[in-house]
A = this chain, B = another copy of it.
Amino acid sequence: VTGEEGADRRWSIGELARATGLTVRTLHHYDEIGLVSAGERTDAGHRRYTATDLHRLYRVRALRRFGLSLEEIASVLRDSTEDLTTLHDLLATQLAELDIHANRISQLRQQIADLLGKLDRSIVPDPEQFLTTLEMISLFETYFAEELRDYLEQRRAEPGVSATEAMLADWLVLAEEARQCVRAGIPVDDPRAQDLCRRWTTILEAFQGGSEALDEQVRTAAHSMWVDNEARLSAYLTSRLGWSGPVGVADVVGYVRRVRDAGTGR
């Protein structure tokens, strides 16, 4: 009267694979690491899973869905007959990690979508230049942590234009003007040079003023980025601005520094 499947029913590995949607290899693996083993074997060595094994396997599969590792699952099954704190803690950790992960994914998604948009609208004429712009974005993100980028983005928000691109665009304009001054031989204490320096400062200040600490971090990050990658940044600016001839990036940077020093009284 108890139905045809009592506690003495056994399952082959193939039957279990079908019922659970796992592969035979996966069941072999669980056996190897001792997570779920067949309680018995036939004379020929074939695995015979008991109702208890089956039971355990279903739990393993249920916990796998939450992204727990096999080792974590083993510890949950070890502890959870008494209490569920292990499970609770692991799930809480998992939740926090998923949140971080989800954030990263949505950011990345947005960036890729933006790039594809540009490629589709063929805003990018030159493959070389496109790849180079990507390099600069990734360089920037290496030195400016997410917190700093958000901070910069707040102060300089334009639809569809990232803070990185906006800063870059501003810098490029000023660098071009500074080079003109160098080529024209304008002295560092000339009013025109001093005016340039003021605008340079103004633009940089447009990104600042929210928090003393963050402003300092921005300056430090920018400095490190320049020091560590001077060669690459120079090359980029040179090609991006189409500069050729005697006056290079290093010269312009040196000039601006001298202008600034002259302005603050040497």
**Does B134 contact A19, Cβ atoms closer than 8 Å?**
no
Contact with B along A1-26 (1 / 0, CB 8 A): 11111000100000000111100000
Count identical subunits in the complex. 2
**Does A234 contact B98, Cβ atoms closer than 8 Å?**
no
**Does A3 contact B95, Cβ atoms closer than 8 Å?**
no
Interface presence of A44 (CB below 8 A)? no
Contact with B along A53-72 (1 / 0, CB 8 A): 01100110111011100000
User: Can you identify 10 A-B contacts, CB atoms within 8 angstroms?
Assistant: A3-B248, A3-B250, A5-B230, A5-B234, A62-B137, A80-B127, A82-B127, A84-B119, A88-B119, A98-B108
**Does B105 contact A248, Cβ atoms closer than 8 Å?**
no
Q: How far is the CA of A261 from the CA of B91 in the complex (A)?
A: 47
How many chain A residues touch B (CB < 8 A): the figure is: 73
Q: How far is the CA of A115 from the CA of B88 in the complex (A)?
A: 9
Interface presence of A116 (CB below 8 A)? yes
A residues within 8 Å of B by Cβ? 1-5, 9, 18-21, 51, 54-55, 58-59, 61-63, 65-67, 80-84, 87-88, 91-92, 94-95, 98-99, 101-102, 105-106, 108-109, 111-113, 115-116, 119-120, 124, 127-128, 130-132, 134-135, 137-139, 141-142, 228-232, 234-235, 246-251
**Does B91 contact A112, Cβ atoms closer than 8 Å?**
yes
**Does B95 contact A109, Cβ atoms closer than 8 Å?**
yes
**Does A128 contact B81, Cβ atoms closer than 8 Å?**
yes
**Does B130 contact A84, Cβ atoms closer than 8 Å?**
yes
Give the distance to chain B from A34, nearest Cβ to Cβ, in Å: 19
From DSSP, what is the main secondary structure of chain A's interface residues?
helix
A83 contact from B1, B66, B91, B127, Cβ within 8 A:
B127
Return the 10 tightest CB-CB contacts between A and B, nearest first: A3-B250, A62-B138, A62-B134, A58-B135, A19-B228, A5-B231, A21-B142, A62-B135, A98-B109, A95-B112
**Does A59 contact B135, Cβ atoms closer than 8 Å?**
yes
Q: Which residues of B contact A109 (CB under 8 A)?
A: 95, 98-99, 102
Taking A59-B135, A62-B138, A84-B130 as known contacts, 19 extra A-B pairs with beta carbons closer than 8 A to each other, sorted by chain A number, are A1-B246, A3-B234, A3-B250, A18-B228, A19-B229, A20-B142, A55-B232, A58-B138, A59-B132, A62-B134, A65-B108, A66-B111, A82-B127, A88-B119, A91-B116, A91-B119, A92-B116, A102-B102, A102-B109
Q: Which residues of B contact A4 (CB under 8 A)?
A: 250
Given contacts A58-B139, A82-B127, contact A134 B250 (CB under 8 A): no
A108, A124, A141 — which one has the most chain B CB atoms within 10 A of its CB? A108
